């Protein structure tokens, strides 16, 4: 079963339509979990904070730092992904933001400036990189969604380890034969709010978090009460 990309409820509506249809997605409020705007699990938890490049430049050293610091306490791997294009304005401590024209054939400059120097922004990104936060930059929102989809698909392939460049991943502890893998338990707990005993109980029946998300309590297999089912469906944003 594919592992879903979890999108925070505060990401813009309709963004799912920008991702390839091959990607499984669910919406969830990730703020209480200390996670960023996009989350998936490929043996360890990866979370990406999404900012427009203008937001990243104006929030660096303040709000953005606080968000990234919080995410590092709740995920094994943290990244910052931005969409947008800026260029330095020679002789000024400012940058110009560029956007695609209406026909998408050329890039045009916006009149207003971003009053942050190119050098200071690049120094900030360099420092984040040294702190173990990976930087991804995309020119448009569509390109960003395509990139995230590629990250998810490739990180789930055994031969691809590129997303583990900096992170010291948490150990994947295999349980006794026939029992769930440890990170399945942690994933289910993080996504639904159930405790470890309940997570183990559900996974003993359905084997993967994704199967739990799709479960029907009327199938005769559901090992818990209706209230648990209601709480899980509410947590993952699935209609009850």
pTM over 0.95: no
Q: How sure is the predictor about 96, in pLDDT bands with cuts at 50, 70 and 90?
A: very high
pLDDT digits 0-9 by tens, 11-30: 999 999 999 988 999 999 99
Structurally, the chain folds into a number of domains equal to 2
* 1-15, 47-61, 167-181, 223-237: segment of lowest average pLDDT: 167-181
Q: Mapped to the 3 state alphabet, what secondary structure does the chain carry?
A: CCCCEEEECCCCCCHHHHCCCCCCEEEECCHHHCCCCEEEECCCEEEEEEEEHHHHHHHCCCHHHHHHHHHHCCCCEEEEEEECEEEECCCCCCEEEEEECCCCCCEEEEEEEECCCHHHHHHHHHHHHHCCCEEEEECCHHHHHHHHHHHHHHHCCCCCCHHHCCCCCCCCCCCCCCCCCHHHHHHHHHHHCCCHHHHHHHHHHHCCHHHHHCCCHHHCCCCCCHHHHHHHHHHHCCCC
- CATH code at 33? 3.40.50.10130
- What pLDDT is attached to residue 204? 86
- Using an 8 Å Cβ cutoff, are 7 and 191 in contact? no
Write out the residue range of the structural domain in which residue 146 sits: 5-83+118-164
pLDDT digits 0-9 by tens, 31-57: 999 999 999 988 889 999 999 999 999
- What pLDDT is attached to residue 19? 95
- 109 within domain boundaries: no
**Same domain as 73, residue 189:** no
Residues contacting 194, CB < 8 A, separation 6+: 188, 202, 228, 231, 232
Look at 238 and 110; give whichever has higher pLDDT: 110
* Residue 199 three-state SS: helix
- Using an 8 Å Cβ cutoff, are 36 and 64 in contact? no
Q: How sure is the predictor about 237, in pLDDT bands with cuts at 50, 70 and 90?
A: low
- 44 within domain boundaries: yes
**Same domain as 122, residue 217:** no
- 176 within domain boundaries: no
- Using an 8 Å Cβ cutoff, are 74 and 44 in contact? no
Q: What is the C-alpha end-to-end distance of the chain, expressed in Å?
A: 22
- What pLDDT is attached to residue 193? 80
- What pLDDT is attached to residue 177? 45
**Same domain as 23, residue 134:** yes
- What pLDDT is attached to residue 34? 92
- Using an 8 Å Cβ cutoff, are 132 and 76 in contact? no
Selection from 42, 41, 34 nearest residue 6 by Cα: 41
- 99 within domain boundaries: no
pLDDT digits 0-9 by tens, 180-210: 466 577 777 877 888 888 888 888 888 777 7
Selection from 40, 8, 73 nearest residue 210 by Cα: 40
Q: How sure is the predictor about 79, in pLDDT bands with cuts at 50, 70 and 90?
A: very high
């Amino acid at each position: 079963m594919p592992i879903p990309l979890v999108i925070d409820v505060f990401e813009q509506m309709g963004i799912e339509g920008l991702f390839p249809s091959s990607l499984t997605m669910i919406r969830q409020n990730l703020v209480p979990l200390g996670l960023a705007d996009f989350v998936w699990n490929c043996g360890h938890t990866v979370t990406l904070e999404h900012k427009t490049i203008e937001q990243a430049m104006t929030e660096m050293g303040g709000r953005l730092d606080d968000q990234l610091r919080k995410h590092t306490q709740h995920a094994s791997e943290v990244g910052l992904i931005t969409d947008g294009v800026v260029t330095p304005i020679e002789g000024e401590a400012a940058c110009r933001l560029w956007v695609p024209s209406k026909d998408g054939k050329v890039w045009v400059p916006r009149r207003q400036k971003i009053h942050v120097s190119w050098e200071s922004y690049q120094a900030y990104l360099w420092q984040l990189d040294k702190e173990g936060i990976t930087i991804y930059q995309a020119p448009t929102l569509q390109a960003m969604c395509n990139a995230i989809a590629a990250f998810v698909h490739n990180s789930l392939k055994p031969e691809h380890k590129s997303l583990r460049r900096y992170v010291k991943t948490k150990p994947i502890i295999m349980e006794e034969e026939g029992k769930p893998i440890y990170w399945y338990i942690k994933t289910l707990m993080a996504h639904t709010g159930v405790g470890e005993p309940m997570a183990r109980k559900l996974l003993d029946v359905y084997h993967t978090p994704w199967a739990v998300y799709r479960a029907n309590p009327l199938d005769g297999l559901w090992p818990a009460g209706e209230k648990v089912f209601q709480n899980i469906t509410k947590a993952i944003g699935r209609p009850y």
